[in-house]
Amino acid sequence: MEERNYIQGILHASKTLLVGLKTSIKIFFEHHETEQYPENRDTLIFSDRNRFCLEMPHNEKNQYKCIACGLCQMACPNDSIHITSEMVETEDGKKKKQLVKYEYNLGQCMFCNLCVTACPHDAIQFNQEFENAVFDKKKLILTLNHPGSTLAEKPRPVVTPKPLETLKTAE
Amino acid sequence: MFDFSIVTKWFHSLLTGVMPEWAAIGIECFIVLLFIILLYAILAIALIYGERKICAFFQCRIGPNRVGKWGLLQVFADVFKMLTKEIIKMRQSDRFLHDMAPYFMLLASFLTFACIPWNKGLAILDFNIGVFFFIAVSGIGIVGILLAGWSSRSKYPMIGAMRSGAQLVSYELSIGMTMLTVILLNGTMQFSEIVQQQADFGWNIIRGHVPAIIAFIIYLIAGNAECNRGPFDLPEAESELTAGYHTEYSGMHFGFFYLAEYLNLFICGAMAATIFLGGWAPIYFPGWEGFNHVMSLIPGFIWFFAKAFFVVFLLMWIRWTFPRLRIDQLLSLEWKYLMPISMLNILLMALVVCFGLTL
Amino acid sequence: MALIRKPKIKSIPYEDFKDNESLEQLIDQLNEKGTNVIVTTADQLINWGRSNSVWPMNFGTSCCAIELMAMGAARFDMARFGFEVTRTSPRQADLILVCGTITNKMAPVLRRLYDQMADPKYVIAIGGCTISGGPFTKSYHVVKGVDQILPVDVYVPGCPPRPEAFYYGMMQLQRKMKIENYLGTVNAKQKDEHKQEAQALQQKILNEEQEA
Amino acid sequence: MTLEITTIAPAELHAEMLRLKEERKMDYLRNLIGMDWGEEGLGVIYMLESSETGETANLKTLTADRENPCIPTVSDIWDIANIYEREVFDYFGIKFLNNPDMRRLFLREDWVGYPLRKDDKPEQENPLRMDDEPLADTTTEYFLREDGTLASRQHTIFAPEDYVVNVGPQHPSTHGVLHMRVKLDGETVRKIEPVLGYIHRGIEKISESLTYPQMLAMTDRLDYLSAMQNRHAMCMCIEKAMELEVTPRIQYIRTIMDELQRIASHLIYYACMTMDTGALTAFFYTFREREMLCKIFEDNFGGRLIMNYNTIGGVQYDILPDFARQVKEFCQALRKRFHEYQDIYTTNIIAQQRMIGVGTLSLDEVISRGVTGPSGRASGWHNDVRKRHPYALYDQVEFNEIIRTEGDTNARHWNRMDEILESLHIVEQLIDNIPEGEYQVKRKPIIKLPEGDFYQAVESSRGEFGVFIESKGDKSPYRVHFRSNGLPLVGAMDAACRDQKFADLIAIGASMDFVIPDIDR
């Protein structure tokens, strides 16, 4: 910074201050684009990559795709997912794991997407429902499978050997 | 211009007609008190709302808009809230002084508030050393701040209060000097007389031209500093001293500080309007008879408020633009720049008046 | 009876809110002993004021605090609700938004901040860390949920939550404020399980001071 | 590509270190990592670099004594070693002989045990304590008597008559929960004593129990303003160990994201700086542009602040087709608005006077204290990792390393402002040329690193961020260490603020731009 004498100093200072004032008054008269949240609720759309809450999509017959393999539970870094499953015998005599309860702790989830990536059947996904505040902490432990829902019957999924192998080594 | 003193005189004679003089004066005092408190509250609420909206617009936002239409009820909600908050009593504080400090602030702003001539013949305190009185009572506020800082027995308030002490003592000088400049021009210390002269001979800022404009600018800077408002908000310096001298105050006691801040802002604006911008005097352009006639139909207090709020807007503009000064810069601004300049300015004004160079 | 059963919030219908059951349960609990009409009307006025003038404290420890800043900034503008007067001194704040992880070392500090606030005061736990330790549940130095040390009013999940989710949480809090009985002093009994603990500690300090 | 580490006995350590510093000009102590090798004992890894020649050297030393492990200090050779050694003492209980300040760094002074030792059970012995933390006014120094026995002596930090103000842990300008005990003489700062650990989350310890993909989620939350860069470092470190090559498309996306993240971070820096110096309006200006960036992040990566975007061998999602247009729009908007920031704040006489000549750090101080990033470059130290050890696409794009020599707050501020433009320049070079290809390289579902030590540094928004992994060939790392870019900044605060005004302390702190969770980890 070059040396300035007393008068030059005052003039320089006044100039910079006036530049500041000019900038701020310009903004004062600009149009302000503020998103007005509760008023714009209907028009608020997020890209589907946003992750606000885990959900298990059910089809119109109240069926989900989860086979209770437990990969998501294992992938979760902080145990936010808890799967309760039981062994049932299918008609053709095979033993099969079936989902009883898929508990997900929203209050603990860190939305890292590892569970969704780990799932071999696309049974879970993140939704864009961000209005999740509650008064009671217990309400944040969600059961993702709807009451009375069953496993979707579909042509046997082509299970790649990869996830099975993963399961074994992870155990 | 309508002279308001007709109303007040008529009212006085009405009262003295039915009761002894002392009782009449008592009733008048009571009415004036009510008037002041009411006006004080209304102005504070208007200013707080205004500041929040204006500051929002400076900051590319839109400000309060959910409580009432355009957020008009926002400040009322704040007042209700504030009244119902707990006032914390601290074990270690100097309880008596701690509780008294906010009232000192209020007292100072009430007394200075009373000096303002609202309209022709409408001033609560109006006597021949009005300017002197104004400067004297505005100094009471600093006592409140110092007490608040001292009695909290906490480190941040203490630093804030000390800063405030240094700041106010310094900037009182500049305020005094700029007012002296005006007194030189008008030859009186009575506010009503100062305004009357401006109504007759033109606003001081035009009549006194160069020295008056310099004085006006210095007054704005020093007045801003007196109000502890940014960029001179060192005593409360949020980012440094958490909340400065009122860190330990809660509930309505804090509310008083908050109100006093805005009222001081208004008083600063009103005083600038009174001594530089002609108070309640309307705009007159020599030669434009029709225009001047229309202007004189607008009541004086509207002129006054318009000017005061204009200055308040200027101060808000400044506040929401500049960064905060540091304590040494603050003091060097006053002692190295404002004070010498305002001293020279007095000399200049004296010369101008002496040689009859006023416009 | 002038009792508010369904607190109103501009632009969001009552039914759209989550967790209405807890709210209704609270209403029943607060009005067990019946209410006085005059008191209730006065309460409504005060509650209107209180719920529309929630001044949060400037408190943030980590990521969520940046979202709090973003919420104050132009795109989301906290000021629309009248929340923009963030106080840096706890004495003047009504609400503490616990933004970010609370560690064992920070816990006593946070509790002290809360104790320094003037009644009536509220707590919102923002983000996974404050609700349950979030990403750091396996840590040796993180408090697993601030409800262990403070009485939390609203939980806002997210990591970090969007500014809109913050607002949603704040509106939930407004609803809670609107049903309380200020003059009935019901909210004074705010279920602060840790108050006695804090008071005992305070008493201990006091005693130590007197001895010294 | 494991690190080559020379082992050296504790007794010879100090002399060897001195020799390295004097003869090979190893004047920058990059890292000082405490280790617990179980049976072999406790030890320390030193990573050195020469600021002139760019040569590096890695040494390690260890002692088998687990009861009373002692290693001679190097804090008289590098200033930064003092605070690093405190960290190691805190984690492992290694006593550094002749270090004048052997207190815990992060944990409470009444903490029991040393949490990063493999045999320590920190949770069992340390329940949540709600009583106030005792803060000692003295430090302990350990030394060996002539007969070889361990002894200690005390040093005073604050005398009883000192006027000590606690800035933090809850203070609007500490950018989180930093606690500084400041000795004031009127308005003048005489001494600063940082107290850390209010957000010590034990990420290094947690990581030891997580698999590699799980570990990534932790890095975002370290320095959340450089989430992308941190995660990039971690991914690169793992990829380096696995010898996994990523496609050019991934490199492009990662580089662009790093730079966008840098811009976002510097915009927040500007906002904080202005807010701390009281210019409240300027705060909103940069946030306005940052929100544009956040919008891009939201749409493409599903997060505003923490995006969980990089993965091992790729990225989480492919970019959307609209991405390039959005980014270009943002670049234009920012360039258009850029002068406003300077008009309202930087060139303002008040701001200038508060910044010029304030908080000066000399080149030697900066190197010795390991202050990297824009703060270090403000004192003339060429420390940009992107130039020193190029990674991703930084050897292919054209950009300048912003260097100033004044070393004051103003230089630090301008460095960041210029870096915004420089980052824009990099982004604009890349955005139109993103090649087609995979966004995720195929890899085994279970990731195991080969045995060895791996280190990868990136230039994060506020300095060198490094990830050190020691692997024993398992799914989880044996030891993870993050080179915090904020810890040296806090270490330098005392030197920068001494004999400045109290208000300057706030401005200097803001110009250093530290993020506390990154310091405490």
pLDDT one digit per residue (tens) for chain B, 359 residues: 667 777 777 887 888 878 887 888 888 888 888 888 888 888 888 888 888 888 888 888 888 888 878 888 888 888 888 888 888 887 777 888 888 888 888 888 888 888 888 877 777 777 888 888 888 888 888 888 888 888 888 888 888 888 888 888 888 888 888 888 888 888 888 888 888 888 888 788 888 788 888 888 899 888 888 888 878 888 777 777 878 888 888 888 888 888 888 888 888 888 888 888 887 877 777 777 777 777 777 787 888 888 888 998 988 888 888 888 888 888 888 888 888 889 998 898 888 888 887 77
Give how many domains chain A has, as a whole number. 1
Would an 8 Å CB–CB cutoff place D301 in contact with chain A? yes
Cis bond before residue D248 (omega within 30° of 0): no
Is-contact D222 C60, C-beta < 8 A?
A: no
A16 and D302 within 8 Å at the Cβ level: the answer is no
- Per-residue pLDDT, averaged over D57-76, amounts to 86
For domain D203-520, the CATH superfamily is: Cytochrome-c3 Hydrogenase, chain B (1.10.645.10)
Is-contact A112 D308, C-beta < 8 A?
A: yes
Q: Closest chain B residue to A37 measured between Cα atoms?
A: B66
CB half-sphere exposure, D180, CA atoms < 13 A: 26
Res C2: pLDDT = 44
Sequence-ordered list of residues with C-beta below 8 angstroms from that of B220, at least 6 positions apart, any chain:
B272, B311, B314, B315, B318
Res B136: pLDDT = 86
Q: Which residues of A touch C18 (CB under 8 A)?
A: 131-134, 139
- Whole-number Å distance between alpha carbons of B209 and B194: 16
Give how many domains chain B has, as a whole number. 1
Residue A7 lies in a domain: no
Per-residue three-class SS string for B57-121:
HHCCCCCCCCCCHHHCCHHHHHHHHHHHCCCCCCCCCCHHHHHHHHHHHHHHHHHHHHCCEEECC
Would an 8 Å CB–CB cutoff place A140 in contact with chain D? no
Better pLDDT: D464 or C25: D464
Q: Which residues of chain A have pLDDT under 50?
A: 161-171
Radius of gyration, CA atoms only, chain C: 18
Q: Closest chain D residue to A170 measured between Cα atoms?
A: D446
Q: Closest chain A residue to D344 measured between Cα atoms?
A: A20
Q: Closest chain C residue to A79 measured between Cα atoms?
A: C137
Q: Which residues of B touch D281 (CB under 8 A)?
A: 55, 58-59, 320-321
Structure tokens given for B222: 């020093």
Q: Which residues of D touch B327 (CB under 8 A)?
A: 187, 501, 503
C135 and A37 within 8 Å at the Cβ level: the answer is no
For domain D1-93+103-120, the CATH superfamily is: NADH:ubiquinone oxidoreductase Nqo5 subunit (3.30.460.80)
Give A112 to chain D, closest Cα distance, Å: 6
A130 and C162 within 8 Å at the Cβ level: the answer is yes
Residue in A23, A163, A169 nearest the CB of D343 = A23
Residue in B61, B65, B321 nearest the CB of A24 = B321
pLDDT tens for residues A130-165? 888 888 888 888 888 888 777 777 655 555 544 444
Among residues C121, C117, C122, C50, which one has the least CA distance to residue C89?
Answer: C117
Which residues in A4-158 belong to E strands, given as ranges? 53-55, 63-64, 81-89, 95-105, 125-127, 141-143, 150-151
Would an 8 Å CB–CB cutoff place C52 in contact with chain B? yes
Res B26: pLDDT = 86
A135 and C162 within 8 Å at the Cβ level: the answer is no
Q: Which residues of C touch D108 (CB under 8 A)?
A: 104-105
- Whole-number Å distance between alpha carbons of C154 and C168: 10
Residue A43 lies in a domain: no
Domain coverage including residue B85: 5-354
Which residues in D370-445 belong to E strands, given as ranges? none
**Residue D92 buriedness (CB in 10 A; 0-12 / 13-18 / 19+):** buried
Please name the residues between 140 and 169 in chain D that touch chain B, using a CB distance below 8 Å: 163, 165-166
Disruptive mutation site among B54, B322, B328, B331 for chain D (greatest number of D CBs within 10 Å)? B322
Q: Which residues of A touch D345 (CB under 8 A)?
A: 20
Residue B359 lies in a domain: no
Disruptive mutation site among D212, D348, D355 for chain A (greatest number of A CBs within 10 Å)? D348
3-state DSSP assignment of residue B1: coil
Neighbours of chain C (3+ CB pairs under 8 A): A, B, D
Taking the domains of chain C in order of start, what are their residue ranges? 19-203
Give D173 to chain B, closest Cα distance, Å: 5
- Per-residue pLDDT, averaged over C108-127, amounts to 85
Task: Please check the confidence at residue C1 and state whether its pLDDT lies above 50.
Answer: no
Residue in A10, A20, A21 nearest the CB of B337 = A10
Disruptive mutation site among C9, C10, C17, C19 for chain A (greatest number of A CBs within 10 Å)? C19
Neighbours of chain D (3+ CB pairs under 8 A): A, B, C
Is-contact C165 C131, C-beta < 8 A?
A: no
Architecture of domain C19-203: 3-Layer(aba) Sandwich (3.40)
Q: Which residues of A touch B60 (CB under 8 A)?
A: 27, 30, 32
Domain coverage including residue A73: 53-170
B237 and D171 within 8 Å at the Cβ level: the answer is no
Q: What is the mean pLDDT of chain D?
A: 86
Residue in C55, C80, C116 nearest the CB of B62 = C80
Would an 8 Å CB–CB cutoff place D214 in contact with chain A? yes
CATH number for position A141:
3.30.70.3270
Residue in B62, B65, B317 nearest the CB of A24 = B317
ipTM: 0.86
Q: Count A/B contacts: CB-CB distance under 8 Å.
A: 29
pLDDT tens for residues C142-151? 888 888 888 8
